[in-house]
Chains A and B, each alone.
Chain A
Amino acid sequence: DAGVTQSPTHLIKTRGQQVTLRCSPKSGHDTVSWYQQALGQGPQFIFQYYEEEERQRGNFPDRFSGHQFPNYSSELNVNALLLGDSALYLCASSLVQGVTYEQYFGPGTRLTVT
């Protein structure tokens, strides 16, 4: 059973550029959440997608946008990159069933902005 996968593993971008990160959820899961984890910090919630719509959003600017496809995979897009966007970006998948809402995390994409 494949877990959550993310691509690419590492990415280096220049300030002002745009980046797209990709996530495939665990088999059978229908919800994808994205988190930003700065060095030495805990993950911060960016947004969550369910049924191809943004369901909930954290305190991140509109430069951060996303998309969910019919196969439940998801993309995170960040425009006009800033040095402060350098972080590990984690994708988590879950299943909206029952009340446990357990989230499974992928290995992350390490984004470095220079």
Chain B
Amino acid sequence: AQSVTQLGSHVSVSEGALVLLRCNYSSSVPPYLFWYVQYPNQGLQLLLKYTTGATLVKGINGFEAEFKKSETSFHLTKPSAHMSDAAEYFCAVSDSQDTGNQFYFGTGTSLTVIP
């Protein structure tokens, strides 16, 4: 079975500082990995995804993530935080089998950006 662990339910960074949100996964098959962002009272918006190919993936709003199979990790980074980045971030894993693409989400990391 697949599962996701997000280390740190709350992360605070200063504006302009590096953002690092951690995600580790467990999967019995080659995983598809996703990061979603959720602003208050809204649904989830896809930031980026890894399916196959290049292990460093770039997403929207300057975010990127690197798939490290040996570490079973898919950490999200952004070089310089903006105030508008304050939100809840979810890492998700989906199996790649053609039996339905159930997503397994982590419990989320709340990002606060300090002016």
Tell me how many residues of A have a C-beta within 8 Å of chain B.
29
Min Cβ gap A45→B in Å is 5
- In the assembled complex, which residues on chain A have CB atoms less than 8 Å from the CB atom of B43? 4, 90, 105-108
Interface size for chain B: under 10, 10 to 19, 20 to 34, or 35 or more residues? 20 to 34
Which residues of the partner chain B approach A55 to less than 8 Å between Cβ atoms?
Answer: 100
A99 touches B90 (CB 8 A): no
A-B contact count (CB 8 A): 67
- Chain A, residues 76-95, CB within 8 Å of chain B (1/0): the string is 00000000000000101010
With A44-B105, A48-B102 in contact, do A105 and B44 touch (Cβ < 8 Å)? yes
Q: How far apart sit A100 and B52, CA to CA, in the bound complex (Å)?
A: 9
How many Å from the CB of A93 to the closest CB on chain B? Answer: 11
Report if B101 contacts A (CB, 8 A).
Answer: yes
Nearest CB in chain B: distance from A15 CB, A: 25
A42 an interface residue at 8 Å Cβ cutoff? yes
Which residues of A are in contact with B by a Cβ distance under 8 Å? 4, 31, 33, 35, 40-45, 48, 50, 55-56, 58, 90, 92, 94, 99-108, 110
Which residues of B are interface residues toward A (Cβ below 8 A)?
A: 4, 32, 34, 36, 41-46, 49, 51-52, 90, 92, 94, 96, 99-108
